[in-house]
Structure 1
Amino acid sequence: MPETDAEPEFTSDPESWEYSLYIPNDLRAVTVSRRTLRLILTMHGLIGLVDVAELLATELVSNAVRHTKGPAALRVRWSAGVLRIGAWDADPRPPEPPQELGQLIESDDGGRGLGMVRACSDLWGWQPLSRFGNRGKFVWCELRAAA
């Protein structure tokens, strides 16, 4: 099984928190990421976000592992009632544009990941990013907690 490292990153806001899970380029890392995310959200009392968050993290991490050759990372941040889930990978090229919802349902092909992310999250995006001297990108999405 691939080695992983989940570590909390503390912020100045006592209600905010952030975790990063560094993963190898291994499809088993998708399951490790999903289960780690479930544990993090459960321990922070955010069980109502778990199902959608797991779906989103699975799509983001799966894209990072399947479409790149280097390491990746899952980052989860909670701040001001917003959960941000993101995946870093070593490929600096922009992600493929997401499909429309109608195309997601009708398509038997791959490439549905970011369309699912767009359809199930409140906001999503990507940005170029460097990590440990490697260039890459960070693809993220946000879920707002129900009031």
Structure 2
Amino acid sequence: MNGPALHEPSAPASWRVALPHTAAAVPVARALVRSALADIQHAADSDTAELLTAELVANAVEHTKGDAPIELVVELLPTGCRVEVHDPDPAPPGNLTVPEPSVEPDPWQEHGRGLLLIRTLSSSCGHRATESGKAVWFRLPVVPSQRKPS
């Protein structure tokens, strides 16, 4: 008799959604990420993925001009997830991967901590040029499932 079957990691799944260039895009993006991660057994931390996605989408809405839609891309990989936000502005996103020297976010200000959160909580992050602007991304690793007491 053979032992228990080992489950091979499933093929990557991905979603690509155009979002309005308004603040209304943030809760829609969070809901999509939550739904995507709920569909797989071993996923990245959903709360962290939602938070970082909200930061990327809010930055794209706030810091790019015009009303062209932004695009959310969510990829589920055997090693975790990758989230990208595409916007029409080719300018890189400030200090995403390298913090500005001696610049600390003001704890009393509502803004200024988004890129710090992304840098700190993701396993990796960055940006790349696209044909229509740029994509800003982060990755999160799979969170091991918790053992339940017998």
Class of the TM-score when normalised by the shorter of the 2 chains: 0.7 to 0.9
The number of equivalent residue pairs is 130
CA offset digits 1:68-114 (Å, max 9, x no partner): 122101111122312101100010111111457x8246462522211
**Selected match of 1:76 from 53, 74, 77:** 74
Match of 2:94 in 1: 96
Q: Contact 2:42–2:143 at 8 Å: present in 1 too? A: no
TM-score (structure 1 length as normaliser) = 0.78
- Structure 2 residue runs of 5 or longer lacking an equivalent are 1-8, 145-150
Decide which moves more: 71-80 or 85-94. 71-80
CA RMSD of aligned residues (A): 2.2
Q: Name the structure, 1 or 2, with higher relative contact order (CA <8 Å, separation 6+).
A: 2
SS at match of 1:124: strand
TM-score (structure 2 length as normaliser) = 0.77
Matched, 1:117 2:115: no
Match of 1:7 in 2: none
SS at match of 1:83: strand
Structure in which a larger fraction of residues adopt strand: 1
Match of 2:139 in 1: 142
Q: Which runs of 4+ in 1 moved over 4 A?
A: none
User: Which structure is larger by alpha-carbon Rg, 1 or 2?
Assistant: 2
Change (3 A) 1:26 1:80: same
CA offset digits 1:103-143 (Å, max 9, x no partner): 2464625222111100110100000112xxxx210000001
SS at match of 2:30: helix
- For the residues of structure 1 that align with 2:16 and 2:130, how far apart are their CA atoms? 15
Change (3 A) 1:14 1:80: closer
- Structure 1 residue runs of 5 or longer lacking an equivalent are 1-12
